[in-house]
Amino acid sequence: MAAPETTPGAARTQLAVAGARAATEGMFTASSRDRARGAVFLALLLFGLAIALTGLAAIFVWTLVRAWPRLDLDLITNGPSTLRPETAGFHTAILGSAYIIAGVIALIVPLGVGAAVYLEEYADNTRWWNRLIELNIQNLAAVPSIVFGILGLGFIVRGPISIGFVPAAASLTIALLVLPTVILAAREAIRAVPPSIREGALALGATPWQAISRQVLPAAAPGILTGVILAVSRAIGEAAPLLLVGAVTFATFDPSYFESGYTTLPTLVFNYATRPQEELRTLAAAGAILMLAFVLVMNSFAIWLRNRFEQRW
Amino acid sequence: MTVSDIAVSSAGAQARRSLEAASPRYGEKAIRAFLFLCAVLSVATTTAIVLSLLLPSISFFEEVSIVEFLTGTRWAPAFADAHFGVLPIVVGSLVIVVVGLLVAVPVGLASAIYLSEYAPRRVRRVVKPSLEMLAGIPTVAIGLFAALYLTPTLQDALPFLPWEGRFSSAVAGVAVGLLIVPLIASVSDDAMRSVPQGLREGAHALGASKLRVSLRVVFPAAISGIVASIVLAMSRAIGETMVVLMAAGAGTRDLTFNPWGSIQTVTAYIGSTATGDIATGTIQYDSIFAAGAVLFVLTFAVNMVAIRLVRRYREVYE
């Protein structure tokens, strides 16, 4: 650089290089102010995450502590009672929830997978009705659960179907509520199966349905199962729509699928929580622990399933 | 081999050469029709929802004028002196949404930026699934926590605030905020992670600090996905029933913005009224459906905005 060159072009180059060097140096060596700013920002982010995690963890811890005195066998063997709150339990509610969930599973697996297969494998996306179905499913996924309760009350319990305030009506209502999430999850899973699998089957002479049922669906099964499990764990905790389809009875007898008079875990927890007696509130917390445990187990299983069977093609 | 045999076999060969299926495959068509019906069920569900909201609403509006419904400031369908102004419960829902978003947006976005830009892979692999798992907490459990723990604790800790009774819409809003944090964090994190790595590398090559890359490059590039997550969370907060019912009560009938006392939302009204035994055909019964229609229209509008935004953001990055 020290060579004595006097042409104006070289001087300009020199100037430009010096300027560029200064600029890059200024950018690359972060000033202490920059570094402090970065540290404060990271601290803020961690603070936000900490609030989220502690807030959510607090729900578990508080519920467990509150429910501790009542975590005994009476909880699952005894029915509800306001007269003897210290031995009352959730027997009929657990049965009611189990009946409803069994119905939900029986409905959402064929219907959800069927709709997903249609949309992914058969539907021609240039047709307006297929686009309408797709938009409609996305929209239904975000309709508030209590609106499905209104549907259940006006259409299933009374109205055109009119089966009354029975567990079957609750099954139908909850199934319709979680169906969009099952369809969306099943579609993701089916989409993840590469086209070459289908094309290979078709080239070997399989009919479209043979290709789907023997190649695509088995390959997509873990993903679909994950979606179904997450839907079931959501279904168990839904209380709002059940309030409208009859799950409010203080039922002390075992439910029957097509007879009215049943109760469920979430609605009974709600019922106990709104009563003034301390013992009943403790009981409500114990019921919440039952639900939390169920949801945790189901969701962990779903996450494990997703990681275990995640297939790389 | 006779001539007729040859004719038969060559006809068979010719039929084979065609790419058409050898049989009409009625089974395939029946299966396809069944699958189509499964998909159409969702449209039928929406239609049924609209019908079940609309029909009782019509008989409701035969007795209550639409003007009174939309502009009245007192909601008391169960009283002898009945009033049917929907504004108090709509405002109640909005108070919950605003408080919820005030909590959830900063907390959720901070978590999302940390998870997507800063977190080491091992931290991410633990935190992301646990956040998703926490999104599945039954709302009754959150409502119980808010009503029996959060409200009394906050009332003891902040005695100088003008609390009224054991219900508080502010606490209900905070609990709803806690409920929607995982939704905002998870969807925003996905949006920011789908920003191409090249954008980050380019900014770093120009000497930008991590803070700048996160806030000036990645955040704006993912903005439509982030906004969509907030809008989705909003619609979730509008529709939340149990937390509001348990922590904010369902008592107030008049228009109020008071965060320290009880408030009634559209969902809480529906939930609390429908639990009682009300006879069909009464105006009170029909008012459930009218309130439901308001709720459906509110969330439908919000959802359409969200779907639009998500779609636009997908077009950019796929």
Choose the closest CB to B49 out of A66, A151, A244: A151
How far apart are alpha carbons A281 and A264 in whole angstroms? 17
**pLDDT tens digits, B270-287:** 888 877 666 777 888 888
Q: Which residue of A has its CA nearest to B286?
A: A154
Distance from CA of A181 to the nearest CA of B (A): 12
B216 at interface of A, judged by CB pairs closer than 8 A: no
pLDDT (tens digit, 9 = 90+) per residue, A59-114? 999 999 999 888 888 888 888 887 788 888 898 899 999 999 999 999 999 999 99
User: pLDDT tens digits for A82-95?
Assistant: 778 888 889 889 99
Asked if A136 and A123 count as a contact pair (C-beta separation under 8 A), the reply is no
- pLDDT for B18 equals 66
**Backbone phi and psi for residue A131, each to the nearest 5 degrees, phi listed first:** -65, -35
Give the H/E segment covering residue B84: strand B83-84
Contacts of A179 in chain B (CB under 8 A): 41-42, 45
pLDDT at B22 over 80: no
- Over residues B171-200, mean pLDDT: 91
Question: For residue A90, which of A271, A246, A219 has the smallest C-alpha distance?
Answer: A271
- Interface predicted TM-score (ipTM): 0.85
Q: Would an 8 Å CB–CB cutoff place A276 in contact with chain B?
A: no
pLDDT category of residue A312 using cuts at 50, 70 and 90: low
- pLDDT score, position A33: 79
- Higher local confidence (pLDDT), A298 or A313: A298
Rounded Cα gap, residues A123 and A113, in angstroms: 14
Alpha-carbon span A103 to A229, nearest angstrom = 14
Q: Could you report the per-residue pLDDT of A166-214, keeping only the tens digit for each?
A: 899 999 999 999 999 999 999 999 998 999 999 999 999 899 999 999 9
Grouping H, G, I as helix, E, B as strand and the rest as coil, residue A252 is: coil
Mutate to test the interface with A, among B46, B52, B166 (most CBs of A within 10 A): B52
Q: Which CATH number fits domain B75-317: 3.40.640.10, 3.40.50.1360, 1.10.3720.10, 3.30.70.260?
A: 1.10.3720.10
Full DSSP string of A33-44? HHHHHHHHHHHH
Q: What is the pLDDT of residues B227-266, one digit of tens each?
A: 888 988 998 999 999 999 888 876 767 777 777 888 888 9
Query: Are A146 and B292 a contacting pair at CB < 8 A?
Result: yes
List the 171-190 stretch of B: residues with Cβ below 8 A of A: 178, 181-182, 185
Average pLDDT of B13-21? Answer: 60
Domain boundaries, chain B: 75-317
Percent of chain B beyond pLDDT 70?
Answer: 90
Collect all residues of chain B within an 8 Å Cβ-Cβ radius of residue A159: 52
What is the three-class DSSP state of B313?
Answer: helix
Task: Please name the residues in contact with A34: beta carbons below 8 A apart, sequence gap of 6 or more.
Answer: B209, B211
Q: Which residues in chain A have Cβ-Cβ distances shorter than 8 Å to B275?
A: 243, 248
Q: Write down the domain spans for chain A.
A: 91-262
Q: Are B262 and B165 in contact (CB under 8 A)?
A: yes
Q: What is the pTM of this model?
A: 0.85
Band of pLDDT at residue A311, cut at 50, 70 and 90: low
CA A127 vs CA A123, A298, B53, B87: distances in Å: 8, 38, 29, 41
**What backbone phi and psi angles, to 5 degrees, belong to B266?**
-60, -45
Nearest to A52 among B132, B181, B274 (CB): B181
Contact B49 A63 (CB under 8 A): no
Residues B150-162 have pLDDT tens digits of 988 888 888 888 8
3-state class of B108 per DSSP?
helix
Flag the least confident range among A238-242, A309-313, B163-167, B188-192. Answer: A309-313
Contact flag A53-B267 (C-beta cutoff 8 Å): no
What distance lies between CA B194 and its chain's CA centroid?
22
Superfamily assignment of A91-262 in CATH? MetI-like (1.10.3720.10)
Nearest partner of B77 among B51, B56, B52, judged by Cα: B56
For residue A28, give the nearest of B106, B207, B267 by CB distance.
B207
Query: How close A299 comes to chain B (CA, Å)?
Result: 6
Tell me whether A249 touches chain B (CB under 8 Å). Answer: no
Cβ within 8 Å of residue B44, ≥6 positions away: none
